[in-house]
Amino acid sequence: MFQRLSNSWELTKASARVLWADKELLVFPILSSIALLLVSAAFIVPMAFGGLFDALFSQNLQIGGLIVGFLFYVTQYTVIIFANTALVGAAMIRLQGGDPTVMDGVRVALKHFVNILGYAIVAATVGMLLQRVNERSRGVGQFAVRLVGMAWNLATYLVVPVLAVEGLGPFAALKRSVELLKKTWGEQIAGNLGLGAVTGLAFVVTILAGIAGLVGGAALGVPGWLLAALAGALVIALVLLGLVSSTLNGIYSAAVYQYAVQGEGGEWFDAAMIRDAFKARIPSGV
């Protein structure tokens, strides 16, 4: 356990070094977040004020609700995958010794926009199906759906780097992602803690520290405006932490792809760390 946490910390530091060298990489998750807010407003606000929610999701027009929900999913996935492709494209330039700009990443994503849209449709379809099956399942059924979701997340781990570098179509990119994972880490693999262990711990510590500060301040009779300022600072800290976490994950996925294709991590990542990104799943009874 401690070895995995140590490896996760080293992965985080390596990704952070790349981010420190190219701080503009933070722009991509920021733009993605803004675009997602605009997309949500474009779908939800007109429907809410137009009274279309009840109509679309009524018993008689469930198909309408499914269509709108699907379009919403596809648009969201397109925004997220476009931003991630731009981020990974720029990160790949840095990992290969270049000095990327924001526009370099945007150009990579624009070049493969058709494939990004195609994969967004595939991902939205899978996401909606898993969600609806999960809603209708109980007990073992929900557990099975979660396992399928975990398998899907693992299989698609390298899809974005493949889109950014190889420009394959959605199904070919998915196949390529699975092939790279199997070739590099074997047929039976399971996700390791990775960056999630460190970033997740950072989120927990930040939330607990913020809550402790608010509770302690209230108990000591701190003025309300100061408590409000502390609450605002906590929200801002969590937003910034989320942006940094997304950027680090994008950088790391680029490094994993480079290792899977070239067998080395380059000057920024130690190959042994990336090799331990996934581990062999020990068969039962062994």
Summarize the confidence of residues 52-61 as an average pLDDT: 51
Let me know if 117 is exposed, middle or buried by CB neighbors in 10 A (0-12, 13-18, 19+). Answer: middle
pLDDT above 70 as % of the chain: 84
90-138 pLDDT per residue, tens: 999 999 889 999 999 999 999 999 999 999 999 999 988 888 787 777 7
pLDDT at 135: 76
236 vs 6, residue with greater confidence: 236
Higher-scoring residue by pLDDT: 12, 205: 205
The CA distance from 156 to 144, in Å, is: 18
pLDDT for 219 equals 87
Provide the whole-model pTM. 0.85
Listed by start position, the domains of the chain span 2-280
Determine the pLDDT at residue 160: 95
Q: pLDDT digit string (tens) for 66-91?
A: 777 788 889 999 999 999 999 999 99
* Whether 11 contacts 195, CB under 8 Å: yes
Considering only residues 56 and 104, tell me which one the structure prediction assigns the higher pLDDT: 104
Rounded Cα distance between 169 and 114, Å, is: 8
Q: Which two tokens stand for residue 206?
A: 């930040």
E strands in the chain: 189-191, 278-280
pLDDT range class, residue 12, cuts 50, 70, 90: confident
**Residue 65 above 70 pLDDT?**
no
Q: Which residue has the tokens 């490896």?
A: 7
What is the average pLDDT value for the chain, to the nearest integer? 84
Separation CA 129–CA 153 (nearest Å):
14
Instruction: Give the pLDDT confidence of 179-231 residue by residue, as tens digits.
Output: 998 888 876 565 555 677 788 889 999 999 999 999 988 888 888 888 899 99
Cα 138 to the center of its chain, rounded Å: 27
CA neighbor of 184 nearest in space, from 251, 248, 255: 255
- pLDDT recorded at residue 284: 42
The pLDDT value recorded for residue 11 is 83
At 282 the pLDDT is 45
**Lowest-confidence pick of 162-171, 178-187, 223-232, 241-250:** 178-187
- Listed residue (270, 246, 198, 265) closest to 29, CA to CA: 246
Tell me: the pLDDT tens digits for 15-28?
999 999 899 999 99
279 phi, psi to nearest 5 deg:
-130, 155
Three-class DSSP category at 286:
coil
What is the per-residue pLDDT for 286? 40
CA 156 – CA 257 distance, rounded (Å): 12
In sequence order, which ranges of 139-223 are alpha helices (DSSP H)? 140-155, 159-166, 170-185, 194-219
